Chains A and B, each alone.
Chain A
């Protein structure tokens, strides 16, 4: 079973860049193959921001990008804006049929 660890909170000022990490701790031999990221505003449904580590769905701002190095995936938000303040969740799917969300990170725009 996989587990994904995210920081509880991050913050940044408008115009700055921030990074949210997502680290896998797993005994899953299948590995950490597919990572996606979701944005959730209070009282709203989650919205897909990044899929398969670094792909951006149509309509998502290019200020959002994703990467992965070893066991840690990252969501990078550049040119921070007030409307980016939200909760962010990473998600992993492995070839051994394991789906899991990270605990979530609250982003505060100062």
Chain B
């Protein structure tokens, strides 16, 4: 069965960087685009970024463009999100999610991890 396990969250000071990881299993990781989605406390879902199955295409929400970098290592079945210049408004649970379509540059998330909490605070 599909399993996605995020890690790397925690408390970080404003202006610092943090890298999240998402370990994938139960499917052919290199064949699917992958998404990051976040949810601020008590708020709705916000799509953050997507990376194509082969990492040739990456797309970002306007709110994180130039600040976050999505990447993947298909040899390690792992997705990453490097978050720089963090601000208090980046505080959220960050979910990684598998894309619902085989190959491609991303369509809709289908399977989700349990999320990792990032708190940006001094």
Contact = CB atoms under 8 A, between A and B. Distances in A.
Interface of A: 1, 34, 36, 38, 40, 45-48, 51-52, 57, 87, 89, 91, 93, 97, 99-104
Given A1-B62, A97-B59, A99-B59, A51 B44 contact: no
Contacts, number: 57
A22 to B, nearest CB: 12
Given A1-B62, A45-B113, A45-B115, A36 B108 contact: yes
B114 interface: yes
A93 B61 CA distance: 12
Contact of B112 (A1, A46, A103): A46
Interface residues of B, number: 23
Contacts of B50: 99
A101 B59 contact: no
A75 B112 CA distance: 20
Contact of B46 (A1, A38, A51, A101): A101
Contact of A89 (B44, B105, B107): B44
A40 B46 CA distance: 14
A48 B100 CA distance: 10
Nearest to A100: B47
Nearest to B47: A99
Given A1-B62, A46-B95, 8 more contacts: A36-B108, A45-B113, A46-B37, A46-B45, A51-B108, A51-B110, A93-B108, A99-B47
A69 B29 CA distance: 35
Interface of B: 35, 37, 44-47, 50, 59, 61-62, 95, 100, 105-115
A34 B107 contact: yes
Given A45-B95, A45-B115, A89 B108 contact: no
Nearest to B44: A104
B81 to A, nearest CB: 15
Contact of A38 (B45, B61, B62): B45
